[in-house]
Amino acid sequence: MFDIEILKRIIVENQQFIAAIEMNRRDYSFEPKGRYVLVGLRQAGKSYLLFQRIKTFLSEGRKIEEICYVNFDDERIAGIRAQELGIILDAYHALYEGEPILFFDEIQNIAGWEHFARRLANEKRIVFVTGSNAKMLSREVATTLGGRFLTLDVAPYSFVEYLCACGISPGKNWRYGKTASEVERRFETYLRFGGLPECVEHVDKRGWLNGLFDKIFFGDMIVRNGVKNEEALRLAVKKLAESVCQSAAYNRIANLIKAAGVSTTAASVRDYVRFMRESCLIFSIPNAAAGFSEREGVKKHYFADNGLLNIFLSNPDSALLENLCAIRLRSMYRERLFFFKRNIEVDFYVPGEGLAVQACWSVKDATTLEREVGALRKLDAYAPLKKLVIVTRSESDAVRLKNGKTVKIVNAASWLLEDANPIASP
């Protein structure tokens, strides 16, 4: 039986720790009586959102003694098994009367955790759990939980949140104020090193990101999936990063890996991409112009954070800009986000919104401008659009089409900071 004294100590220590935390509120909301599974990339801020939710409970009159927070990354409970998880409640009741609000961090470390979570839900307890593995929400887990939990995807900082974490509040007319140069300077860092909250504070950002990737690679991909060909998986990540602006068939990635002298197959690459998605390292978007079988097999793959993408690239500018656009658009449109490729190619397409977005580092060159505008014009002729946008690193303009529609050219920092809808029509 697991030592109850260890859990009692952990519960009290965590209450003291959380009570002392000062928060910069992130823009996430919770149903008042909802139970939640928070899922996302390692270090994206899931624990922070648990603390934020706890602070909200405290502001509403709950006492810190009602909070039972346990982090399963704590080495003191590394050996606990799913059938022993009930001892957490025993430890709490040995300390306090009443029933706790339960917060379980990185619970995916415990095989079979979902059965315990369902029992707690059946008992009408308030429960929040987090994990760094999208596999937590596989069909089997979802069936066990039986709809008793709401799912919240936690992403790295948006640019607005990043600026707030840096102590900058740009305001609506920031381009004309004193903060303009500081916003642009911070954007350059955000573009290259991403929005993972802990990375903001690190001086050696690349070193920190390399260390984080190693944890994701070994902990969330190699060990969890029992991968034997470590070199092939590492090369698959690298080749996917280098292909981030292109649609990538599994055969193509497999051939690139084999060209580097490492044996693999398209079937193995399919598995590797799944492992990357399940670790929340990447997300994929399909081709709106493709049939079902091609749509499943040939996708564009983007990294959940620019900093993690950047550690693999030697000439990163265009890839980082497009990846940043993908992150922002996915946060808004989720499964409604596509690219379009059939005779023409458009980076991002949301059919239900009549929205098309191109990412291009610069359109100062007339040939480049015509190429980007031309792709949007052709897509508009095929499927009429309401919003046509080109996101650049630093340029803003507008191009009027012959049919009277306008292609909006906007620099990336401004696009990310526009109010509620960052692709609002001009």
Can you give the CATH number for the domain in which 247 is found? 1.10.10.10
The neighbour count for residue 293, using CB atoms within 10 Å, is 8
Pairing of strands 247-249, 298-303: antiparallel
Residue 426 in any domain: the answer is no
Residues 59 and 102 in one domain: yes
* Integer angstrom CA distances of residue 74 from 10, 79, 168, 192: 9, 10, 34, 32
Residue 422 in any domain: the answer is no
Residue 345 sits at φ, ψ, to 5 deg, of -135, 125
For Cα atoms 308, 309, 311, give the angle at the middle one, nearest 5 degrees: 70
**In Å, how far from its chain's centre is CA 347?**
19
Q: 353-381, pLDDT tens digit by residue?
A: 999 999 999 999 999 999 999 999 999 99
d(CA 331, CA 8): 39
For 243, the token pair is: 């292909």
pLDDT at position 423, please? 39
Region label for 80, one of left (φ > 0), alpha (ψ between -120 and 50) or beta (otherwise): beta
Q: Residue 182 sits in which domain range?
A: 159-199
Pairing of strands 67-71, 101-105: parallel
pLDDT at position 67, please? 98
Residue 114 in any domain: the answer is yes
> What pTM was computed for the model?
0.91
Report the b/e string of 74-90 with b at 16+ CB within 10 A.
beebeebeeeebebbbe
CATH code for position 62:
3.40.50.300
Residue 272 in any domain: the answer is yes
Residues 85 and 108 in one domain: yes
Residues 127 and 38 in one domain: yes
Task: Using alpha carbons, select from 67, 16, 71, 17 the residue that is nearest to residue 47.
Answer: 71
Residues 285 and 349 in one domain: no
Residue 132 in any domain: the answer is yes
Q: Which helix (H) or strand (E) holds 192?
A: helix 180-193
Residues 343 and 365 in one domain: yes
Residues 27 and 133 in one domain: yes
Residues 257 and 243 in one domain: yes
Q: 203-231, pLDDT tens digit by residue?
A: 999 999 999 999 999 988 999 899 999 99
Q: Which regions of the chain are under pLDDT 50?
A: 420-426
Residues 165 and 299 in one domain: no
Residues 379 and 274 in one domain: no
Number of domains in the chain: 4
Residues ≥6 apart with Cβ < 8 Å to 45 = 26, 154, 156, 157, 196, 197
Q: Which helix (H) or strand (E) holds 213?
A: helix 205-215
Residue 423 in any domain: the answer is no
Asked which of 115, 134, 153 is the last residue of a domain, the reply is 153
pLDDT at position 258, please? 96
Residue 22 in any domain: the answer is yes
Q: Please provide the size of the chain in residues.
A: 426
Residues 40 and 145 in one domain: yes
**In Å, how far from its chain's centre is CA 397?**
30
Residues 306 and 334 in one domain: no
Asked which of 314, 348, 380 is the last residue of a domain, the reply is 314
pLDDT at position 363, please? 98
Residues 209 and 308 in one domain: yes
pLDDT at position 419, please? 52
Residue 127 in any domain: the answer is yes
Asked which of 294, 314, 334 is the last residue of a domain, the reply is 314
